[in-house]
Structure 1
Amino acid sequence: MFKHFALLIVIIVARFSPANFTPPDLECPEECDCHYFRINWVTDCSESNLTSIPHEGLSLDVYILNMNDNNISEIETFPENIKLRSLHMADNQLTHLKRESFHGLNFLLDADFSGNQIQHIDPDAFK
C-alpha cells in the first residue's frame, strides 16, 4: 500500500511542478515590458520617459513594478486591491512622498526612491 501511495505522490508532484506550470498572461501597460520571474509578475517600465505611473493596464497581480529612470514627479494613488510587493522609483523627479500615494499598498515590502530630490516625507506615508 505504501508503494502505491508513494507512486501517487510522485505523479501529483510531476504533474503540478513548476516545470509543467504555464502561468496565465496578465495585463501590461503599453509602455512597459511584462514577464514572469519565477512565479511573480513583473512590470518593467524603466527608462520609458514616463511622467506618471501607467495605472491603465497595470495588473492587480503585479509583484514587482520597476519605474526607475523616468520623469515622474508625483505618485498617484494605486488601484485598490493591488498586490504590489516591490516598487522601484529610483532616478525620477520626486520631491515629496504623500500618505495618499501608498494607500492600499497592503502587501508592499520594499521600495527604492534613491536618486530623487525628495525634500519631504509625510510622517504617515508608509503607515
Structure 2
Amino acid sequence: MAAGAPLEAMRHRVRPTRIAVRTVTAARPLALGLAVTSTPTTLETAAPAKPSTAPTTAVAADPAGHAQLFTGARLRSSTDDAAHAQARRAQSMGPDVGLPDPAADTQPAPESVTAVRSAPAVDGR
C-alpha cells in the first residue's frame, strides 16, 4: 500500500493538468471565430489622412525584368520555328523586332530522344 500513495498523489496532480489542456484545446475554435468576426477598433478611431501638399512624381517601373525576359525569349527562338513558345513570347513582347536567323554552324535540334539503358560490362570494359 505504500507504493500506492505516491501514485495516487501523482494522479491527483495530473488530472487537473489534463483538464486544463483539454479546455484550452477545445477553446481554440471559439477564440478563432471570435477573432475573425470582431472588427479592429483602430480603423474606427483613425483620423482621416491629411492631403499632402508636396507634388508627387510617378516612379517608372524598372524595365530590367522585361528586357531580360525579352532577350532570353528572342535568343531561344529562330525564324525557322516561329510557332515555338519562345518565339511567340518574343514576338508578343516586341512585335517590331524580328526573330534571329539560325547560325550556320549550329547543329539542328534532335527530332526525338530515346533513353537507353547502360550497364558496366562484366570484364570491366
Superposition TM-score, scaled by structure 2 size: 0.23
Higher-Rg member (1/2): 2
More strand by share: 1
More helix by share: 2
Q: Using CA pairs under 8 Å that are at least 6 residues apart, name the structure with larger relative contact order, 1 or 2.
A: 1
Superposition TM-score, scaled by structure 1 size: 0.23
